[in-house]
A and B are shown apart, each in its own frame.
Chain A
């Protein structure tokens, strides 16, 4: 079979033969793949992780595109766990691509339902109760999960089960089928965290809050407090120039706005930037993310709104030994959402990062 990838496709075989035949040159696939991946080629690549919401009755809603956890980085193992203790389930994914560790904070909280948080303690066998089945029933229905330790692919789950009760249920009936077959019933109130003990006892436990921080601004390599150095950019006359924040600020705060002609919200806020520039309390400069061929479009937009602030473009190369730094020191152009506005002090230090459109105030 593998030999066919070397140009020997095309012999006819029946089912019996092809299910049992010698598959081909030993190790060929591995060598072939190793070479292919060394060259940076993909093989079933850019397949993003998926999230399906269960709608009941065998219906599923694919919300992956909007999930924020649809990474294309070739995920392998994963665990879901309430790492921050806020009641919803976060995700940790071990990705093959770039050997990357990804942590996603669930932003839903209790918007669509309240949780109960259950830990188990068996008294007759292994205390962890691995393999127990927990069934939770409310007026809205029933759901069951086993307490697993090693499931999915290369993944091991925490010793805690979180069940959603929906928005209305005030309590749930919980049944635990313990390893060994004993069955106990419990009542657990919405929002409660309890350890269910084999035999029917239960004990509340304190949830440890470990807040997960907000995401770093995507696409930026500098953060609040960092200094933006002079950057190598183009001006509107196809000349390489320096975007020097200190010079542009001229003793005042500087709004460095990152935008593009194709970005509707960016274009919409240009009059506001011009207004701020004219008012003079802050300095304004804009840096377009347009590809070189589209830069005339960007210039035309600025002209149309009567922009008089300095405008810069991509495309310059920082010369060795020069004072200007490459733009990549500030931005990851692949990941930068726009509009983004950096607020700099007169020394070029970032004091604020405004993501999304500017507000009048």
Chain B
């Protein structure tokens, strides 16, 4: 077994880069650029076949530095394509570029997919070879009918670099373009291929492109349309990272009929102030201040529920204080029945406990008729970071607040064994085993998850026994019957990392299988566990599309097209800055 720099693998996997931002040292075993003089008039080759490097760079930091540099270059190129600025995009292709055309190819298969989506795959067995201008004109023609390009990504999915001079690399590329058609429906292009990159005057440029697949999909009209600004709920603040929007206390949302008028209102905790969008046939009206919930700001998970059984929906809001201190609190507001709220100092005991709570879940764990509150305990990153990437044990404890007749809340997590020391991020409650009491799943960052089976008010963690530990970075979870057998299945949001998978693929044969499996799972994305007839769970294989996602967060399990099957929507992405570069 070859010894490999495991620290490096994990750092690159989870943080995306190694080394100071912006300073990429020249690889010690690599010379710099190759001469560019001969590039001017090279004739187009008859075929494009990019060979693998014969003597590839193997040192992880060096090859990843190069990969990231190429990835950044391609993201900048992507940005030009998104703007349809092909004159500028031309600068990323060398003068002797030769590539297989992405346009005008014969149709291999046309398929009608659900929701009347038209999908076409193209025959890429013998595409014409084109020079740089003609190639870009072909890309332009692919998206010419579109009224808008929403996204253009040329993503590095794999990269190997030749040691020595001339300095070049073979890049595995995923090309993904999305936009809107003339009538507002979605348009998309997906392609896979290989690019050869070489350094010209110290800058990475593409000089060969080999196309391995190309497909398009479109739908005539949109499935969803964005109506937030028109509906009066389109609040937009400053870019994340700038003053006024720097908090890692990601703010949640809760939906309920707060005023009993039969329609659905929204509470949105936020930085600086909270929002309460009150719905009516005349539209939404923002009334947080008038209704008493505009402060304190910065809340995280939030839930409406009737804690005092007076038949209106009260409100709880978690806080993590941006992870800066342990002085976190859960706020409680009582509803007067008309949708006006009064904050309860101390929260009848909810405020007495320091919980670093991103997510909250309400259920009646002991069946006494009074709804209880589970609060996930994360960690306090400013004080102490996770002590392991795969099984952190220094998270702050969870809380399970027992509702004592609507008079006070008492944390019973420790006595029931639910407090733990994981970095708990999200939770969901349901009677998965159909025995009449409501069970609890907890998704943990940096570790395995918990399935707390409820047996009449006592809990046993059966996650390992039932096969739902789901190691990795749990970010969200839901129960729903996803295969139509009447049993509740389990969905878990996780992180997926292109860089992580790219790095790990280099070490598939060299890592300890146990380590490799853990790391690979950490970069694998969302999970579906289908409940078996015997009560266990089986992880759904990720074939036929799967629900892999990216860096996923919350989810909805809902039948969006009303066809009788439960669909999955999930939010994605950590931080998107102004610059096209990414880790």
Residues of A within 8 A of B571 (CB): 49, 74-78, 93, 95, 153
Closest to A57 in B: B483
Main secondary structure of the interface of B (DSSP, over half): loop
In the complex, are the beta carbons of A65 and B186 less than 8 A apart?
Answer: yes
In the complex, are the beta carbons of A24 and B385 less than 8 A apart?
Answer: yes
In the complex, are the beta carbons of A30 and B323 less than 8 A apart?
Answer: yes
In the complex, are the beta carbons of B262 and A208 less than 8 A apart?
Answer: yes
Closest to B582 in A: A42
Q: How far is the CA of A41 from the CA of B497 in the complex (A)?
A: 17
In the complex, are the beta carbons of B562 and A41 less than 8 A apart?
Answer: no
Q: How far in angstroms is the closest Cβ of chain A from B310? A: 10
Instruction: List 16 interface pairs A-B (beta carbons < 8 Å), by A numbering.
Output: A37-B241, A46-B576, A58-B541, A67-B223, A67-B224, A87-B562, A100-B236, A103-B227, A104-B224, A106-B223, A152-B476, A156-B303, A164-B559, A210-B280, A263-B144, A339-B147
In the complex, are the beta carbons of A66 and B369 less than 8 A apart?
Answer: no
- Asked if B326 lies at the interface with its beta carbon under 8 angstroms from chain A, I say no
Q: How far in angstroms is the closest Cβ of chain A from B430? A: 4
Residues of B within 8 A of A78 (CB): 253, 554-556, 569, 571
Q: How far is the CA of A339 from the CA of B144 in the complex (A)?
A: 11
In the complex, are the beta carbons of B569 and A49 less than 8 A apart?
Answer: yes
Stretch from A139-147, A243-251, A323-331 contacting the other chain: A139-147
- Asked if A157 lies at the interface with its beta carbon under 8 angstroms from chain B, I say yes
Closest to A94 in B: B253
In the complex, are the beta carbons of A101 and B234 less than 8 A apart?
Answer: yes
Closest to B304 in A: A156
Stretch from B159-167, B264-272, B347-355, B408-416 contacting the other chain: B264-272
Residues of A within 8 A of B566 (CB): 54, 143, 145
Q: How far is the CA of A66 from the CA of B187 in the complex (A)?
A: 6
- Asked if B221 lies at the interface with its beta carbon under 8 angstroms from chain A, I say yes
- Asked if B6 lies at the interface with its beta carbon under 8 angstroms from chain A, I say yes
Q: How far is the CA of A130 from the CA of B556 in the complex (A)?
A: 17
In the complex, are the beta carbons of B61 and A9 less than 8 A apart?
Answer: yes
In the complex, are the beta carbons of A11 and B7 less than 8 A apart?
Answer: yes
In the complex, are the beta carbons of B431 and A131 less than 8 A apart?
Answer: yes
CB-CB under 8 A for A356 and B431, given A47-B550, A53-B114: no
- Asked if A272 lies at the interface with its beta carbon under 8 angstroms from chain B, I say no
Q: How far is the CA of A27 from the CA of B379 in the complex (A)?
A: 12
In the complex, are the beta carbons of B564 and A215 less than 8 A apart?
Answer: no
Closest to A101 in B: B235
Stretch from B13-21, B102-110, B203-211 contacting the other chain: B13-21
Q: How far is the CA of A42 from the CA of B558 in the complex (A)?
A: 31
- Residue from the list B7, B143, B311 in contact with A4, Cβ < 8 A: B7
Q: How far is the CA of A4 from the CA of B583 in the complex (A)?
A: 15
In the complex, are the beta carbons of A156 and B252 less than 8 A apart?
Answer: yes
- Asked if B455 lies at the interface with its beta carbon under 8 angstroms from chain A, I say no
Closest to B25 in A: A7
Q: How far is the CA of A141 from the CA of B515 in the complex (A)?
A: 41
In the complex, are the beta carbons of B241 and A65 less than 8 A apart?
Answer: no
- Residue from the list B7, B255, B485, B557 in contact with A92, Cβ < 8 A: B255
- Asked if A166 lies at the interface with its beta carbon under 8 angstroms from chain B, I say yes
In the complex, are the beta carbons of B227 and A53 less than 8 A apart?
Answer: no
Residues of B within 8 A of A304 (CB): none
In the complex, are the beta carbons of B226 and A215 less than 8 A apart?
Answer: yes
- Asked if A112 lies at the interface with its beta carbon under 8 angstroms from chain B, I say yes
In the complex, are the beta carbons of B579 and A41 less than 8 A apart?
Answer: yes
In the complex, are the beta carbons of A130 and B148 less than 8 A apart?
Answer: no
In the complex, are the beta carbons of A103 and B562 less than 8 A apart?
Answer: no
Q: How far in angstroms is the closest Cβ of chain B from A142? A: 5
Residues of A within 8 A of B245 (CB): 98-99
- Residue from the list B219, B318, B573 in contact with A45, Cβ < 8 A: B573
- Asked if A308 lies at the interface with its beta carbon under 8 angstroms from chain B, I say no
The 3 closest A-B pairs by CB, nearest first: A181-B436, A75-B571, A66-B186
- Residue from the list B261, B476, B558 in contact with A153, Cβ < 8 A: B476
Stretch from B36-44, B85-93, B194-202 contacting the other chain: B85-93
Residues of A within 8 A of B300 (CB): 154
CB-CB under 8 A for A215 and B573, given A47-B550, A66-B187, A143-B484: no
* Chain B interface extent, by class: 35 or more
- Residue from the list B255, B550, B557 in contact with A158, Cβ < 8 A: B255
In the complex, are the beta carbons of A50 and B570 less than 8 A apart?
Answer: yes
Closest to A334 in B: B83
Q: In residues 315-342 of chain A, which contact B (Cβ within 8 Å)?
A: 334-340
- Asked if A52 lies at the interface with its beta carbon under 8 angstroms from chain B, I say yes
Q: How far is the CA of A81 from the CA of B575 in the complex (A)?
A: 26
In the complex, are the beta carbons of B18 and A27 less than 8 A apart?
Answer: no
* Chain A interface extent, by class: 35 or more
Which of B16, B60, B303 has the most chain A CB atoms closer than 10 A to its own CB?
A: B303
Q: In residues 184-213 of chain A, which contact B (Cβ within 8 Å)?
A: 205-213
In the complex, are the beta carbons of A99 and B270 less than 8 A apart?
Answer: yes
Residues of A within 8 A of B84 (CB): 260, 262, 291
Residues of B within 8 A of A62 (CB): 545
- Asked if B444 lies at the interface with its beta carbon under 8 angstroms from chain A, I say no
In the complex, are the beta carbons of A262 and B545 less than 8 A apart?
Answer: no
- Residue from the list B5, B6, B562, B573 in contact with A72, Cβ < 8 A: B573
Main secondary structure of the interface of A (DSSP, over half): loop
Closest to B64 in A: A9
- Asked if B97 lies at the interface with its beta carbon under 8 angstroms from chain A, I say no
Q: How far is the CA of A109 from the CA of B239 in the complex (A)?
A: 34
In the complex, are the beta carbons of B479 and A151 less than 8 A apart?
Answer: yes
Q: How far in angstroms is the closest Cβ of chain B from A108? A: 5
Q: In residues 109-151 of chain B, which contact A (Cβ within 8 Å)?
A: 113-115, 117, 140, 143-148, 150-151
Stretch from A121-129, A225-233, A278-286, A343-351 contacting the other chain: A121-129
Residues of A within 8 A of B389 (CB): 1, 18-19, 23
- Asked if A236 lies at the interface with its beta carbon under 8 angstroms from chain B, I say no
- Asked if A224 lies at the interface with its beta carbon under 8 angstroms from chain B, I say no
- Residue from the list A37, A149, A157 in contact with B363, Cβ < 8 A: A149
Q: How far is the CA of A210 from the CA of B231 in the complex (A)?
A: 11
Interface string of B461-488 (1 = CB under 8 A from A): 0000000000000011111111111111
- Asked if A162 lies at the interface with its beta carbon under 8 angstroms from chain B, I say yes
In the complex, are the beta carbons of A5 and B11 less than 8 A apart?
Answer: yes
Which of A56, A115, A181, A337 has the most chain B CB atoms closer than 10 A to its own CB?
A: A337
- Asked if B257 lies at the interface with its beta carbon under 8 angstroms from chain A, I say yes
- Residue from the list A11, A99, A158, A293 in contact with B257, Cβ < 8 A: A158
Interface string of B238-262 (1 = CB under 8 A from A): 1111100110101111111100011
Q: How far in angstroms is the closest Cβ of chain B from A355? A: 8
- Asked if A44 lies at the interface with its beta carbon under 8 angstroms from chain B, I say yes
- Asked if B386 lies at the interface with its beta carbon under 8 angstroms from chain A, I say yes
In the complex, are the beta carbons of B303 and A149 less than 8 A apart?
Answer: yes
Residues of A within 8 A of B67 (CB): none
- Residue from the list B254, B280, B363, B427 in contact with A130, Cβ < 8 A: B363
- Asked if B388 lies at the interface with its beta carbon under 8 angstroms from chain A, I say yes
Closest to B177 in A: A65
Q: How far is the CA of A162 from the CA of B18 in the complex (A)?
A: 48
Residues of A within 8 A of B170 (CB): none
Q: How far is the CA of A94 from the CA of B580 in the complex (A)?
A: 22
- Residue from the list B233, B238, B482 in contact with A99, Cβ < 8 A: B238
Closest to B571 in A: A75
Residues of A within 8 A of B374 (CB): 150
CB-CB under 8 A for A154 and B487, given A66-B187, A76-B252, A98-B237: no
In the complex, are the beta carbons of A126 and B364 less than 8 A apart?
Answer: yes
Residues of A within 8 A of B280 (CB): 210
- Residue from the list A14, A38, A44 in contact with B551, Cβ < 8 A: A44
- Asked if B51 lies at the interface with its beta carbon under 8 angstroms from chain A, I say no
Q: How far in angstroms is the closest Cβ of chain A from B542? A: 9
Q: How far is the CA of A166 from the CA of B245 in the complex (A)?
A: 43
In the complex, are the beta carbons of A4 and B8 less than 8 A apart?
Answer: yes
Closest to B222 in A: A68
- Residue from the list B479, B577, B582 in contact with A148, Cβ < 8 A: B479
Q: How far is the CA of A282 from the CA of B520 in the complex (A)?
A: 63
- Asked if B94 lies at the interface with its beta carbon under 8 angstroms from chain A, I say no
- Asked if B418 lies at the interface with its beta carbon under 8 angstroms from chain A, I say no
- Asked if B34 lies at the interface with its beta carbon under 8 angstroms from chain A, I say no
Q: How far is the CA of A124 from the CA of B436 in the complex (A)?
A: 13
- Asked if B76 lies at the interface with its beta carbon under 8 angstroms from chain A, I say no
